[in-house]
Structure 1
């Protein structure tokens, strides 16, 4: 693609400067693409590896979901797929990383992480633990509890953003990253919320509910070679 990938544009060596309108367009574009895979395509697909490096940008900075090497077809008669865990640390839903319980809600979780990256311009894969926060999601949740949610915004935006849209994107991202897959929205609902067509539901569970056991499980699986290493390209 003409403009490489989203990760390159957000936190790589790209000379692109993504203004707020462009970030909003990219976020909605990813959401629409996943909604198609989950709900509209003849073959219902769970991507399993949604992250910024797998979102390509064309010459108009339209988002294109790529790399379907880990994708799974969802059989209509099955509510979930039990499968060997593959993917990228930092973007996998806890129920999938811990128990191999795979549904389209795993992609919803991953989308939430990417949406947070779009807002703050920081990579979750390279987030260094600080102030007791172990990841980008933990930091965002902490800011929300303190009433300082807008501190997450990328300084490169220089206050040139739509505050209402920014708050909406962060709240939708947190909802997508709910610890319980049953409480995450569908991707069509995400599109509707991002476009202000429906009210955003309240996040009712702490996304760190799985705690250290989740992190230890991820590290253990990584040591066995089941997980892809973070890709910073």
Structure 2
């Protein structure tokens, strides 16, 4: 398995950040992760009390800048007038930079792999991220939400659905028939491969049809009104 563009970009960025950690030392390398942590805490506390997303976001941004500014005053950048960081400090700086940047990179790669970018003509980014070594490392730990509600309609409910004009019209739609007769699509649906389903051009085309969405919602309502046995 060769390196993908996602892998190459990730490795280059991590290498540059490792060099930065070595040049700035342990304490200055703590500034970025500390500011991110503080901004997250401020956002969480602010949103928990105010329920105002915009104000909480602004408070988090201000807290991040203030944290970086204050820590920058305490831990000054090495210059010609100050001695360079010691070897142990350089190693610590590399460790800090690689730790927090790797965590952020894995989160970003996961978002690129799972986000329905195909709807915006960016499906190649999805594919590249999904084939990357980085995503392969974290994929076993990703648990996608599943619908715990099982719908088990009885025979009379199935008959009611079959008699529903919306269902009949839907099944006569050539676009739907092409999906039903596509073994690869049915296999993806059986495996609940949401990413593959959403990236299918036929699904993307159907999503643009408001009448199709109305029919789906009507069928969904029919299923949900079925009484459990």
For normalisation by structure 1, the TM-score amounts to 0.20
Task: Judging by fraction of residues, say which structure has more strand.
Answer: 1
Task: Judging by fraction of residues, say which structure has more helix.
Answer: 2
For normalisation by structure 2, the TM-score amounts to 0.21
